[in-house]
């Protein structure tokens, strides 16, 4: 019983050190200092000493002795190596026949010296990770090509392989029977051909995790082929795939593999000189890889609908789309801590916290030149290929180059959409979409699986004058606005009342159509004042506001009081500016402003 308790202590400490890269990895050893009996139990349990510590070289040899013939775990970051640490690593690698998990991070020269000693058998090795840092204090590290004789012995138990900036022979025995394969930053000349990559994947019928970052076959800037691939590899046990490369290279892979429908799918792709802002090949290949549903071997694999969707425009030219099957518990983005109710309440309302769980779908698109039409086309393509029929929460950040009609067509008819969160300029075109009437045009852009929903009503159906007209987003209950500027840019002297009044008209119109918003949350908004919030409370049942007024500081201040309002001085301090000498043309001279001249409010302004 004591041995099991000690094992939990050692495992918890190892987990903490691996996640935080700090602390004493031998902290758990104090359990052996309590009594003679406890010390005897600890010393007589070889498995407790199998997690070899190399940061304290004098302990490496001692732990190797105490572990006896138990399996070993060796993880070492040699970015900052010393002679004693190098000796400790080499000593531990002499016990390669006992090592079960091996992870080394080092420069290409250091790693090359270490792995030359790994030409013997590793019969119980289950996971191997060799990484070269992308950048060091001495500049960019070069690649490493693994020696031909490396691990030529028995590696039959190897199930997980990770290589970062390490080139490998594609016929290596390491590339067989894996359940986890992660390859990153393979040099252009060392990348596999399409046939070599398919041969490798064919040797991994039980593959569960596939991560290929800048490691796909180089197809250059060729146009995407419209011909059917001559060879398709079935990865029926795959649960997570991550691909990072250009559009042609991603399409070249995705068209040649069959994967389950309920897979975690992360894609980071960029346009080339040929494809530019055209990602239609990605959308088509995405649909093709999910045709495994029709196979008898994957009949239990079904596409699960997304619960929460996040769309964000990333400067200068990029778009990120993330989808979660279930909304993680936590308050929504940007809400002030003083306004946060219980986490359970937020979870029931469909709000999510970005950092809480991994997204089921994560799609990153980047291109070279900014074109507003490209953003709208990409968003339409993504929403058409994702299962959004049961979407409950929608988050849109800084996406202004989309027409209100498009927002209404994509999301306005979703029956379960209750929570919408808008950040930045996204509100400029999305809020007007809240006033749009539903679109029942079969040719309009709609998410996957929503065609039957739109065809439920006939396009030519007329309504009487007394009937309440329909409205998009009929079940919207919670609306969150973050970093939204309520200034009206249509007039030369912007004020907040015009823009806020327009927003109020939108809320009033929805109330009249029996689709009122029950919960309105405002945070970090500009040109929004307390009087405006009070008026909003007359329309919306629950209004949460962070209470901070931003923007519009000069509107109620005449020029005579402007300096005193901003800089905090009066006429008696006017001689302060006598110290400024503008003779050098820079407007300042040698006078240094007092540290306490400006208050916190001044700095915020």
Q: Which helix (H) or strand (E) holds 36?
A: helix 36-43
Confidence (pLDDT) at 17 = 55
> Is the distance from CB of 535 to CB of 493 less than 8 angstroms?
no
Between residues 515 and 569, which one has the greater pLDDT? 515
Confidence of residue 551 (pLDDT cuts 50, 70, 90): confident
Largest Cα–Cα separation, the chain: 91
> Is the distance from CB of 404 to CB of 376 less than 8 angstroms?
no
* Position 402 pLDDT exceeds 80: yes
Question: Mind giving me the DSSP string for 215-241?
Answer: -S---TTPPPP-SPPS--EE-TT--EE
For the chain, report the end-to-end CA distance as a whole number of angstroms.
63
Q: What is the pLDDT of residues 284-332, one digit of tens each?
A: 887 665 455 445 454 455 778 999 999 998 877 889 999 998 865 444 4
- 153-157, 223-227, 367-371: the lowest-pLDDT one: 223-227
Q: What is the pLDDT of residues 211-223, one digit of tens each?
A: 999 999 988 655 4
Tokens of 494: 């912007």
Confidence of residue 44 (pLDDT cuts 50, 70, 90): confident
- Give the count of beta carbons closer than 10 Å to the beta carbon of residue 550: 17
Q: Tokens 């070279």 identify what position?
A: 368
> d(Cα 414, Cα 409) in Å, to the nearest integer?
10
Between residues 575 and 417, which one has the greater pLDDT? 417
> d(Cα 275, Cα 261) in Å, to the nearest integer?
27
Confidence (pLDDT) at 137 = 59
> d(Cα 288, Cα 265) in Å, to the nearest integer?
14
> Is the distance from CB of 550 to CB of 527 less than 8 angstroms?
yes
Confidence (pLDDT) at 320 = 93
> Is the distance from CB of 250 to CB of 269 less than 8 angstroms?
yes
> Is the distance from CB of 358 to CB of 241 less than 8 angstroms?
no
> d(Cα 205, Cα 257) in Å, to the nearest integer?
12
Q: What are phi and psi of 506, to 5 degrees?
A: -65, -45
- Specify the DSSP class assigned to residue 418: -
> d(Cα 494, Cα 506) in Å, to the nearest integer?
20
Buried b (16+ CB within 10 A) or exposed e, 344-361: eebbebbbbbbeebebbb
Q: Tokens 């349990």 identify what position?
A: 45
Tokens of 411: 């999301």
Confidence (pLDDT) at 96 = 87
Closest among 237, 208, 385 to 300, alpha carbons compared:
237
Question: What's the 3-state SS for 89-147?
Answer: HHHHHCCHHHEEEEEEECCHHHHHHHHCCCCCCCCCCCEEEEECCCEECCEECCCEECC
- Give the count of beta carbons closer than 10 Å to the beta carbon of residue 118: 23
Tokens of 193: 């051909």
Closest among 478, 545, 488, 536 to 508, alpha carbons compared:
536
Residue 257 preceded by cis peptide, ω within 30 = no
> Is the distance from CB of 265 to CB of 385 less than 8 angstroms?
no
Confidence of residue 459 (pLDDT cuts 50, 70, 90): very low
Buried b (16+ CB within 10 A) or exposed e, 403-431: ebbbbbbbbbbbeebbbbbbbbbbbbbbb
Q: Which helix (H) or strand (E) holds 184?
A: strand 180-184
497: Cβ contacts below 8 Å, ≥ 6 apart: 532
Report, as an integer, the average pLDDT of 579-594: 45
Confidence (pLDDT) at 455 = 38
Tokens of 516: 């009122």
Confidence (pLDDT) at 518 = 93
> d(Cα 439, Cα 470) in Å, to the nearest integer?
10
**CA 101 to mean position of chain CA atoms:** 28
**Pairing between β-strand 419-423 and β-strand 393-397 as defined by DSSP bridges:** parallel
Confidence (pLDDT) at 109 = 85
Q: What is the pLDDT of residues 268-277, one digit of tens each?
A: 999 888 888 8
* Position 339 pLDDT exceeds 70: no
Report, as an integer, the average pLDDT of 104-114: 87
Closest among 68, 142, 151 to 116, alpha carbons compared:
151
Q: What are phi and psi of 247, to 5 degrees?
A: -60, -50
Closest among 33, 12, 7 to 23, alpha carbons compared:
12
Report, as an integer, the average pLDDT of 374-387: 90
> d(Cα 361, Cα 363) in Å, to the nearest integer?
6
Closest among 474, 507, 313 to 408, alpha carbons compared:
474
Closest among 392, 405, 423, 412 to 312, alpha carbons compared:
423
Q: What is the pLDDT of residues 413-457, one digit of tens each?
A: 999 999 999 998 888 889 999 988 876 555 556 665 554 343 344
Confidence (pLDDT) at 78 = 85
Highest mean pLDDT among 40-54, 199-213, 474-488, 505-519: 199-213
> Is the distance from CB of 6 to CB of 45 less than 8 angstroms?
yes
């Amino acid at each position: 019983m004591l041995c099991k308790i000690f094992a939990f202590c050692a495992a918890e400490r190892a987990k903490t050190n691996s996640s935080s890269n700090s602390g004493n990895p031998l902290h758990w050893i104090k359990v052996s200092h309590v009594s003679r009996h406890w010390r005897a139990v600890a010393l007589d349990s070889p498995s407790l000493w199998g997690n070899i510590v190399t940061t304290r070289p004098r302990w490496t040899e001692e732990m190797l002795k105490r572990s006896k013939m138990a399996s070993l775990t060796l993880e070492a970051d040699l970015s900052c190596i010393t002679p004693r640490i190098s000796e400790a690593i080499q000593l531990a690698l002499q016990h390669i026949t006992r090592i079960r998990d091996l992870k080394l991070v080092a420069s290409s020269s250091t790693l090359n010296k270490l792995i030359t000693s790994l030409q013997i058998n590793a019969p119980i090795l289950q996971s191997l990770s060799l990484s070269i840092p992308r950048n060091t204090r001495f500049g960019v590290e070069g690649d490493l090509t693994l020696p031909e004789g490396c691990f030529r012995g028995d590696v039959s138990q190897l199930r997980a392989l990770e290589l970062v900036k390490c080139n490998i022979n594609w016929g290596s025995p390491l590339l067989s029977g894996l359940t986890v394969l992660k390859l990153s930053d393979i040099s252009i000349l060392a990348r596999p051909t399409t046939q070599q990559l398919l041969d490798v994947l064919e040797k991994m019928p039980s593959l569960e995790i596939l991560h290929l970052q800048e490691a796909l076959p180089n197809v250059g800037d060729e146009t995407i082929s419209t011909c059917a691939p001559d060879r398709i590899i079935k990865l029926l046990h795959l649960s997570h795939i991550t691909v990072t490369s250009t559009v042609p290279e991603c399409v070249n892979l995705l068209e040649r593999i069959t994967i389950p429908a309920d897979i975690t799918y992360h894609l980071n792709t960029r346009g080339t000189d040929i494809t530019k802002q055209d990602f239609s090949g990605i959308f088509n290949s995405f649909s093709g890889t999910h045709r495994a549903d029709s196979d008898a071997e994957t009949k239990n694999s079904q596409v699960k609908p997304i619960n929460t969707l996040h769309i964000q425009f990333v400067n200068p030219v990029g778009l990120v789309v993330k989808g979660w099957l279930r909304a993680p518990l936590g308050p929504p983005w940007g809400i002030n801590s003083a306004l946060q109710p219980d986490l359970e309440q937020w979870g029931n309302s469909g709000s999510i916290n970005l950092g809480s769980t991994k997204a089921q779908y994560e799609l990153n698109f980047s291109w070279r030149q900014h074109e507003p039409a490209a953003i709208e086309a990409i968003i339409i393509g993504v929403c058409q290929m994702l299962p959004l029929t049961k979407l409950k929460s929608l988050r849109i950040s800084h996406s202004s180059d989309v027409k209100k009609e498009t927002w209404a067509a994509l999301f306005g008819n979703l029956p379960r959409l209750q929570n919408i969160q808008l950040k930045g300029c996204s509100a400029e075109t999305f809020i007007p979409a809240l006033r749009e009437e539903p679109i029942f045009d079969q040719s309009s852009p709609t998410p996957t699986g929503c065609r039957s929903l739109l065809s439920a009503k006939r396009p030519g159906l007329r309504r009487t004058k007394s009937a309440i007209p329909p409205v998009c987003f009929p079940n919207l209950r919670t609306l969150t606005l973050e970093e939204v500027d309520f200034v009206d840019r249509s007039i030369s002297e912007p004020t907040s009342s015009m823009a806020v009044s327009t927003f109020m008209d939108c809320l009033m119109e929805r109330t009249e159509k029996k689709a009122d918003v029950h919960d309105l949350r405002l945070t970090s908004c500009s040109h929004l004042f307390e009087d405006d919030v009070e008026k909003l409370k007359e329309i919306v049942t629950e209004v949460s506001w962070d209470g901070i007024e931003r923007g519009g500081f000069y509107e109620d201040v005449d020029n005579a009081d402007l300096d005193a309002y901003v800089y905090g001085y009066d006429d008696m301090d006017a001689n302060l500016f006598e110290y400024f000498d503008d003779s050098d043309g820079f407007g300042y001279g040698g006078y240094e402003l007092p540290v306490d001249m400006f208050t916190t409010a001044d700095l915020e302004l």
